[in-house]
């Protein structure tokens, strides 16, 4: 059985970009693979966090994972900071990764350009991400497009280590959806949808109320002409909305395009809002139940124990190969 690993940062409420680009694939994969899904709280502190907010966001993300369909009986759903091996292998791989390659990461360049003060952790972030994945000998890593470069670096680190010290790590493959791998901003469709966008109109949060969703979609920018047609290069706004529609309704883009042929943007956007609301409503209801149930903390603890057992095998092997006295 294949192993799958992926992670999400507890840095605020997820957007439908995270859901459609990553989480939906997690849910699908848990039926066919041995899955490890992580709340990467150690990654979150590479930028300043209010401790109380981080704690809340961590539990909120745990609830969102389960509400979106991650079944804790099928998947190991845990917090990164609960499994010490992440920090340990993270350091070891910082000594395998090169300064030059870390400096070439576009996400580091973007994030560091937005801040006055840049932590060393923000720079070495991809080495910790490599550790997350390699600890579990994952074959597949479902992510959105924006993580592709980090995955390539993970593969380079794994191959470098294997070449130098002998076969140690499975070299993981990225798993990126052709449809939905990059959900774009509703206001600037050439920019990725992101929860850190200054304008809340640019993204739909997984916890947005139905009327907020309707308003954001009605205000979403469209392209010139009136035709509902998929054309990423010339009609990025409508193509993005078509992608969101198709994924939320579990239909193909072609099918949705055929339905709105000759109707213009108005009816399409109106229906899109209802499709998104209908996709979010059951998730939001389950989320609220889970947040008030108090069952999540124990679930995370149990899963961390299982994860640590697997992770420890890798750490011991790596330490021995590096020459530590064991
Ligand atoms: P994060 O927390 O920024 O995002 C979580 C997942 O959501 C995907 N995503 C998107 N997909 C499509 N369209 C979008 N607009 C969009 N925005 C976000 C991301 O690609 C990601 O899959 N570094 C990672 C977390 C991480 C990780 C890992 C992932 C840490 N260790 C190991 C995989 C394996 C991150 O910051 O994701």
CA separation for the pair 69, 30 (Å, rounded): 10
Q: Distance from the CA of 39 to the center of ligand 1, in angstroms?
A: 11
Q: What local confidence, expressed as pLDDT, does residue 36 receive?
A: 98
**Of 262, 260, 264, 242, the residue nearest 252 (C-alpha):** 242
pTM summary value: 0.97
The answer to whether the CB of 144 is under 6 A from ligand 1 is yes
Per-residue DSSP letter, 91: H
Which tokens go with 135? Answer: 């600890």
Residues of the chain with pLDDT under 50: none
Radius of gyration of the chain measured on its C-alpha atoms:
20
Report residue 160 CA to chain centroid gap.
26
**Closest to 5 measured CA to CA, from 93, 126, 94, 137:** 137
* Separation CA 25–CA 176 (nearest Å): 9
Q: Name the burial class of residue 198, with classes exposed (0-12), middle (13-18) and buried (19+) by CB atoms within 10 angstroms of its CB.
A: exposed
Around Cβ 57, how many Cβ atoms within 10 Å?
Answer: 21
Active site (catalytic) residues: 111, 192, 195
**Dist. CA 283 → ligand 1 center (Å):** 19
How deeply is 206 buried, as exposed, middle or buried, from its count of CB atoms within 10 A (0-12, 13-18, 19+)? buried
90-106, pLDDT tens digit by residue? 999 999 999 999 999 99
Q: Where are the alpha helices (DSSP H) in 182-235?
A: 210-219
Q: What CA–CA distance (Å, rounded) separates 140 from 258?
A: 34
Q: Which residue's alpha carbon is nearest to atom 31 within ligand 1?
A: 129
User: If you write DSSP's letter for every residue of 254-276 in order, what string do you get?
Assistant: HHHHHHTTTS-HHHHHHHHHHHH
3-state secondary structure of 203: coil
Owner of token pair 């970009």: 17
CA dist 211 and 190 (Å) reads 25
Q: Which atom of ligand 1 is nearest to the CA of 9?
A: 2
8 lines ligand 1 (CB under 6 A): yes
Ligand 1 pocket, residue 24 CB under 6 Å: no
Identify whether the C-beta of residue 134 lies closer than 8 Å to the C-beta of residue 157.
Answer: yes
Task: Give the pLDDT confidence score for residue 278 in this predicted structure.
Answer: 98
Question: Nearest C-alpha to atom 22 of ligand 1 is from which residue?
Answer: 143
3-state secondary structure of 7: strand
113 CA from centroid of ligand 1 (Å): 20
Q: How much is the pLDDT for 76?
A: 98
Tokens coding 254: 């072609």
Please report the domains of the chain, with CATH numbers, ordered by start residue. Answer: 3-180+294-322 (3.40.50.620), 200-288 (1.10.240.10)
Nearest residue by C-alpha to atom 18 in ligand 1: 18
Q: Which of 61, 13, 66 is nearest to 40 (CA)?
A: 61
């Amino acid at each position: 059985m294949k192993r799958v690993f992926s992670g999400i940062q507890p840095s605020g409420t997820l957007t439908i970009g995270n859901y459609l680009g990553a989480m939906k694939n997690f849910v699908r994969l848990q039926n066919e693979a041995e899955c490890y899904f992580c709340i990467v709280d150690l990654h979150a502190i590479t930028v300043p966090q209010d401790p109380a907010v981080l704690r809340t966001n961590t539990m909120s993300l745990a609830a969102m994972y389960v509400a979106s369909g991650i079944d804790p009986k099928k998947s190991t759903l845990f917090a990164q900071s609960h499994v010490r091996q992440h920090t340990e292998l993270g350091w070891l791989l910082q000594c395998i990764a090169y300064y030059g390659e870390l400096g070439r990461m576009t996400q580091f360049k973007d994030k560091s350009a937005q801040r006055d003060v840049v932590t060393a952790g923000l720079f070495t972030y991809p080495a910790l991400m490599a550790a997350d994945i390699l600890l579990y000998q994952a074959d597949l890593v479902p992510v959105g497009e924006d993580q592709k470069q980090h995955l390539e670096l993970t593969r380079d680190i794994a191959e470098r280590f294997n070449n130098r010290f002998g076969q140690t790590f499975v070299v993981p493959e990225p798993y990126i959806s052709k449809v939905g791998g990059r959900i774009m901003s509703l206001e600037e469709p050439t920019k990725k949808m992101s929860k850190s966008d200054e304008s809340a109109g640019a993204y739909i949060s997984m916890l947005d109320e139905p009327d907020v969703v309707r308003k954001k979609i009605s205000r979403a920018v469209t392209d010139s002409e009136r035709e509902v047609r998929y054309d990423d290069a010339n009609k990025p706004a409508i193509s993005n909305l078509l992608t969101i529609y198709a994924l939320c309704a579990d239909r193909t883009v072609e099918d949705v395009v055929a339905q709105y042929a000759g109707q213009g943007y108005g009816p399409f956007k109106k229906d899109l809002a209802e499709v998104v609301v209908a996709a979010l409503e059951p998730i939001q209801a389950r989320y609220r139940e889970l947040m008030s149930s108090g069952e999540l903390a124990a679930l995370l603890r149990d899963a961390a124990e299982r994860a640590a057992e697997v992770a420890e095998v890798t750490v011991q092997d790596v330490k021995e190969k590096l020459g530590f006295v064991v």
